[in-house]
Structure 1
Amino acid sequence: MRTPSTTLIHVLVGKSIVETLLVGALAVFTFITMLPPFFHGWGEVRDTGISGWVVNNAAPWERVEVQLFVDGEFVAARAANESRPDVLAAGWSRDEWHGYTFALTQLSLGSHEARVYALHDSAGGLRKTLQLLGDPIRFSVAQGGKLKLPNR
């Protein structure tokens, strides 16, 4: 026979479980809709700089502003609006104009690390966030200013 106190305990435990599941579902929904990885892209070392591509997944027809940081210091920003037919061929965008190139001429000899970020405007342009594109790019500067990947 159930007493009123055990019924109340079961109701409270059930209510707590339902509330926990609801809060968890809301957290997952918020994360998925509010904080998606907006950008897809990649950067690589060239002889005289860093180049790559970036696409805004939510609006693949838009051009994206990218920022380059080398060894943790801001170097430059520009729009990714150079031709990259490989991006179109891979199906990442509706056109080929998503490439960028940063010339690096003032670096010291030795090892460095570059990071390329896509700039995302939110809240009507009131808030700006950066999303890292790909992995950090490790490279070295040889005599003559030529950039190369480590161990090459």
Structure 2
Amino acid sequence: MPPTEKIRPAGTDGLRDSVLGGDLSFLLARANALTLAAANAALAAHGLKARSYSVLALAAEDAHPTQRELAEFLRLDPSQVVALIDDLERRGLVERRTDPADRRANVLVATDAGRALFARAQESARAVELGLLAAVTPADHERLAQLLRLLAFPT
């Protein structure tokens, strides 16, 4: 008598209960892909993507990051950061200024137009986040953020 095969539902629902469906690295990557796609769709109305939004957000907060700091913080290749800044600068949203602490480096500063665009884009980004996390309680949302901070910024 042949062994009985487990019949699973068609489509990705049947894969959810697989070994991979319980793998933390996979779940983080899948959640990232889903949230990134949703954020990019929402930010497109503002002429931004998640990466350019991230650069603009840090510039708009008056953090005055250097290009090197941006690359390290965003985990991007420095050449990618240069391209993102070049695009935002061409659009009049950010400016490179000499770093008063190190005249060999530039810091990034948002223009008034950049701050205004960031404020509008931030509303869209928050709406997407709330929509994606609708099934999560506010307490779980905060706990998830705490756990992700621990993973993202190990001491």
Q: Same fold (TM over 0.5)?
A: no
Which of the two has greater strand per residue?
1
Q: Determine which structure has more spread, i.e. the larger CA radius of gyration.
A: 1
Which of the two has greater helix per residue?
2
